[in-house]
Amino acid sequence: MKRAVYPGSFDPVTRGHLDIIERAAALVDELVVGVLNNNAKIPLFSVEERVNMLNEVIRHIPNVRVEAFSGLSVDFVKSCGARFIVRGLRAVTDFEYELQMAQTNRSIDREIDTLFFTTALQYAYISSTIVKEVAFYGGDISGFVPECVVSHIERRISEKQRENKV
């Protein structure tokens, strides 16, 4: 069975992520979306919330499953019985970091290769960070994230804004 892992923060999942998931899923028998439980970053959504949102948006793709992980991506990939890491490349600005990660991962484990997908042009400028920024200032994010994710973000941002006013 050809299995790949798409690791990331997905805080929150964007239309760009979903496009990569759909295209990668078409290439392998099973795609595991790995949601990093990263203690170093303060995310907008807990890892459980990110997994739940991803599960909502991948419902139409039968060979995709979503799992949380912590630690090294390569260890998670191995534990899934996979050999491939999937990542999206939006622009040259992504390249240096992505190359460094891919080379680091390969130097840790020679059996694991990274497959890069070029992000669809219409999503090339979208990032989770930009989505959060636009939402924070009340902008329309419906073109940036899957429909069912919009209300989750708006709700969380207004909760945060209320907390900060207290």
Q: Shortest gap between Cβ of 107 and ligand PNS (angstroms)? A: 10
> Does the active-site annotation cover 60?
no
Say which of 9, 15, 17, 152 is annotated catalytic: 17
Q: Which residues pair with 34 in a beta bridge?
A: 7, 67
Q: In angstroms, what is the minimal distance from the CB of 153 to ligand PNS?
A: 16
Nearer to ligand PNS, 108 or 138 (CB): 108
Which of residues 72 and 120 has its CB atom nearest to ligand PNS in the complex?
Answer: 72
Q: Could you give the C-alpha distances from 61 to 99, 114, 142, 156, in angstroms and in order? A: 28, 22, 21, 27
Nearest-angstrom CA–CA distance, 84 and 71: 17
The answer to whether residue 2 is catalytic is no
Catalytic residue list contains 78 = no
- Residue 41 is a catalytic residue: yes
For ligand PNS, give the closer residue by CB, 28 or 105. 105
Copy the structure tokens of residue 23: 């295209």
Q: How far from the centroid of its chain's Cα atoms is residue 155's Cα?
A: 20
Which of 9, 15, 87, 128 is flagged as catalytic? 128
Kindly list the residues in this chain that would bind ligand PNS in the complex (CB under 6 A): 7-9, 36, 72-73, 101, 104-105
Mark out the alpha helices in the chain (DSSP H runs): 15-25, 47-57, 73-79, 92-108, 128-136, 147-165
